[in-house]
Chain A
Amino acid sequence: MTQRLRARFSAVSVFAVVGALALGMIASGPANAAISKTTLVVGMSADLDYLDPAATMDNAQWKITYPCYQRLVEYNGASTDVVPGLASAWRISRDHLTYTFTIKSGQKFSDGTAVTAKAVQYTFERLLKVAKGPADNFTAIASVRANGLKTVVFVLNQVSPQFLYTLAGNYGGIVNPATASKAVNGDSGQAYLADHTAGSGAYVLTEWKKGQYLKLEQNKFYGGKKPVLETVLFKIVGDASSQRLQLGKGEIDIAEGITSDQYAAVAKEDGNTVINKPSLTVDIMYINSGKGNAALKNTLVRQAISYALDYQGIMAATQAGNATQMNGPIPDGMWGQDPKGFQYTTNVTKAKALLAQAGVTNLSLDLLYSARKSWWASEAQLIQDNLAKAGITVNLKLTEYATARKMIDAGTFDLCLGTWSPDYADPSMFMNFWFDSGNFGLAGNRSFYSNPAVDKLIRSAASITDQKKRTALYIQAQKIVVEEAAYGYLYQMNYRLALRTDVKGFVYNPMIEQIYNLETMYKA
């Protein structure tokens, strides 16, 4: 090489060499340390907001709080039935207005103090005083009183057949009354419990590094069987591709952020497996018959829309087929579902005929959706295409989620995409929320649907406790709301989760989706 040529290269190459050397020095050794068998690392897509059981309404936060608190009753494994939890037994009065629970002995909070009936009273009085989302599920409570150390009595102001099930929800977690001393400016300890846990569950939150991870460690005073997993780390890995790479390298044991299109490939990779089970989450289309386009008041038009939809095509494109078409509002797996319920099938000719019968031509509708669910954009396009074949023009209105929520509440849309999952194992979560004309907007009836006959049936069903009679009433109501196509009943989704094959003992319960039974999970 000539001196002249060397000079040309020297200035640039010196930087490259120095850079490469520095990188090499730093990069020597493995990128990450190995994870022990008693530590579980869960990769989650986003950091959490707050963890107070009296305030949080999000399953993502519940995955932290659920194993840190105990509830009076608990879901039984994979079943939607409830069994004794913190309460060893309970008695229900003949009029179904008084519930008396006996607290199990030997249960302690993470600070070593005993769980007493007073703690239960404190928890529910606090929850109602805080008056955030969870309080909406306990409006039936008239009073809650501790009767001695071991007995607690709930008196209801109305018959509430779902009451027992609401106690198994995250908001039923019993909070240590000692947290009352952490209250600031009369906030009932909300600021403290937003980033601390104070329960009697198997785990306790010991560290929350914002934007990085949350660490759970065993509650040494836990009254149940000692879990195998000593530490559970919830690591924030926002990017789906990074989660997939880290799962493949065994740096995380569970990857929650895998996208729909990646599951098939992830399942084929060595050391990975994918759980794929039917959930109780449904994907639906609100058809605004109350405040939307006037044509939507006509049942024939709503039926035409329901016949125009290509259900199989939508499920294939948005969920890679991991979904089941709904046959009415109540999903399969929830009691009260009409097993012989009518299911709309794609029939464009019939859709056109129904529109002609309704005397509706040149119908143009706005379809509202947000980017909150990754599949909604393609779902909206498919619906636009489906309805175009029946002669209905659909204008896609992609709107930022917070704004879309406001619009849903106000009813300023014609059609809108939404998902729904039950808070507790009771069909009222679908029937009464979706169809009661006193529940318009965000509260649940997002189609602004009103039918006095349906109101009567579902209100009766919600006011009695006999499950057989309730089922009969709900089936009658289902027949009407399906016939009248109050919603676009699209599909029931599957729950999918990618994890390492050495993670054992995970039990999926559709009522507590995204929540792990850490107490009985282990790594082989």
Chain B
Amino acid sequence: MLRLIRARLAMLVIVLFGVSVITFLMAHVLPGDPTAALAGPHPSQETLNSIRSQFGLDKPLPVQYFKYLSNLFHGNLGTSIRSQQPITQEILAFFPATLELVTVAFLLAIGIGIPLGVIAAVKKNTFSDYVIRLFAVGGVSIPLFWGGLVMILIFYAKLGWLPASGRLDIELSSPKTITGFYFIDALFGGDKETFINVLKHLVMPSLALGYVQLAFIVRQVRSSMLDALSQDYYLTGRANGLSHKFLVVRYALRNALIPSITIIGLSFGSLLGGAVVTETVFDWPGMGKYVTDSILGRDFPAIMGFTVVIALAYVIINLLVDLLVYSLDPQTRK
């Protein structure tokens, strides 16, 4: 296992280097000037040149890149051109919100999706299977923004049960940061009102985002489970008098989960970088909106910082998935 971790960490360095080179080149090749906002709507050429010089944008690309890399080695992701704030500080402000949303959505998706997938497979071609599959098709085919808006219309506008946007009511103070997850921080802080309020804000965005993942998981688990149930060991077990339930829980599910875990785990990484629609519909103050604005404003350091963090998250998730598979599948230990 240690060898696996070492290999993955070595890969991390290579991945980060590759990602930084590619992102740097892509960001700088795009036409557009990140200093536009600072220069104002009708800047003189002198002002434009002065600002470009202040941010080192007048230097040759290799010089700019090696300066960036040198800062990166010192743990410095640079300064945002748009906000003039350290990128690390910006990411720390936005990333926990995304991570909280994605984690809750993901837990919901797994918690509901895996059992539904198993039920659908075990009760293949029955009424339950059809209902679950229909439910799953909805998740992959209903556009997220539309589903989100419908939820807002029902639960906020009509019923008035849930808030439409944000992480917390504006009149309430944010819980003291411990983990960056508001619901955990509010729980630790013992503030019941804030905790309930945070949960209310989490319900709609996490359900909207989780539904898409749930649908994906149901389909994946059902398919893997059906495959497992057609294997010889299952039929042999049945022939030897073992119960269907015992075989499903003890053997088939375990085997069905192995291919699912890899795919489901990686989809968590893609969610981290792709929750932008949910964040936009529910005004969730996460990384998605931040990076979209950064791309539109050509804020190179912010784009690079985001990419490096997401790449890092991907590699770590990949490692965790490998470790999980390693512990579940004896074949991988050989």
Contacts and interface: CB of A to CB of B under 8 A. Distances in A.
Interface string B288-306: 0110010011100000000
A111 interface: no
A246 interface: yes
A212 B40 CA distance: 25
Given A245-B164, A406-B32, A401 B296 contact: yes
A233 interface: yes
B271 to A, nearest CB: 18
B123 to A, nearest CB: 7
B30 A443 contact: no
A442 B156 contact: no
A442 B43 contact: yes
A242 B93 contact: no
Contacts of A407: 31
Contacts of A23: 161, 203
B290 A52 contact: no
B93 A405 contact: no
Interface string A395-414: 00000111101110000000
A39 B172 CA distance: 13
Interface in A107-150: 131-136
B47 A194 contact: no
Interface in B98-153: 112, 115-116, 119, 123, 126-128, 131-132, 149, 152
Interface stretch (B7-15, B82-90, B309-317): B82-90
B283 A402 contact: no
Contacts of A261: none
A58 interface: yes
A27 B163 CA distance: 9
A49 B40 contact: no
A405 B33 contact: yes
Contacts of A190: 84
Interface string A1-43: 0000000110110010001000100111111110100010100
A157 B218 CA distance: 74
A4 B120 CA distance: 17
B42 interface: yes
Contacts of A19: 112
A209 B174 contact: yes
A55 interface: yes
Nearest to A137: B40
Interface in B26-54: 30-34, 36-45, 47-48, 50-51, 54
Contacts of A35: 171
Contacts of A8: 126-128
Given A31-B162, A49-B83, A210-B93, A133 B47 contact: yes
Contacts of A212: 166-168, 170, 285
A23 B159 CA distance: 12
A41 B169 CA distance: 12
A510 interface: no
A472 interface: no
Nearest to A48: B83
A57 interface: yes
B196 A26 contact: yes
B256 interface: no
A233 to B, nearest CB: 5
B281 interface: yes
B199 interface: yes
Contact of B40 (A27, A136, A211): A136
A235 B172 CA distance: 13
Contact of B170 (A15, A233, A420, A442): A233
A236 interface: yes
A400 to B, nearest CB: 7
Nearest to A241: B149
A366 interface: no
B37 A443 contact: no
Contacts of B172: 33
A442 B112 CA distance: 55
B297 A402 contact: yes
Nearest to A433: B42
For the complex, would chain A's binding face be called helix, strand, loop or mixed by DSSP majority?
Answer: mixed
Given A194-B84, A209-B174, A33 B37 contact: no
B28 to A, nearest CB: 13
A239 B39 contact: no
Given A57-B40, A133-B39, A403-B31, A50 B84 contact: yes
A377 interface: no
B67 to A, nearest CB: 14
A373 to B, nearest CB: 13
B84 A239 contact: no
A8 B97 CA distance: 39
A242 B82 contact: no
Given A32-B163, A433-B42, A191 B85 contact: yes
A495 interface: no
A245 B152 contact: yes
B280 A136 contact: no
A213 interface: yes
A49 B82 contact: yes
B42 A27 contact: no
A135 B285 contact: no
A9 B162 CA distance: 29
A195 B85 contact: yes
B163 to A, nearest CB: 5
A154 B51 CA distance: 25
B128 A11 contact: yes
Given A55-B84, A211-B285, A403-B32, A33 B297 contact: no
B156 A26 contact: no
B42 A239 contact: no
Nearest to B199: A26
B220 interface: no
A27 B200 contact: yes
A200 to B, nearest CB: 23
B38 A133 contact: yes
B20 interface: no
Given A210-B94, A237-B165, A442-B43, A402 B296 contact: yes
Given A31-B162, A50-B84, A131 B51 contact: yes
Nearest to B35: A132
Contacts of B40: 57, 132-134, 136
Interface in B45-95: 45, 47-48, 50-51, 54, 79, 82-86, 90, 93-94
Contacts of B297: 49, 402
Interface of B: 30-34, 36-45, 47-48, 50-51, 54, 79, 82-86, 90, 93-94, 97, 112, 115-116, 119, 123, 126-128, 131-132, 149, 152, 155-157, 159-172, 174, 196, 199-200, 203, 280-281, 283, 285-286, 289-290, 293, 296-298
13 contacts: A31-B162, A31-B164, A32-B163, A50-B84, A55-B84, A58-B37, A132-B51, A209-B174, A212-B170, A235-B170, A238-B280, A401-B32, A402-B30
| 3 cross-chain pairs, A with B, having the tightest CB-CB distances, nearest first | A211-B285, A402-B32, A133-B40
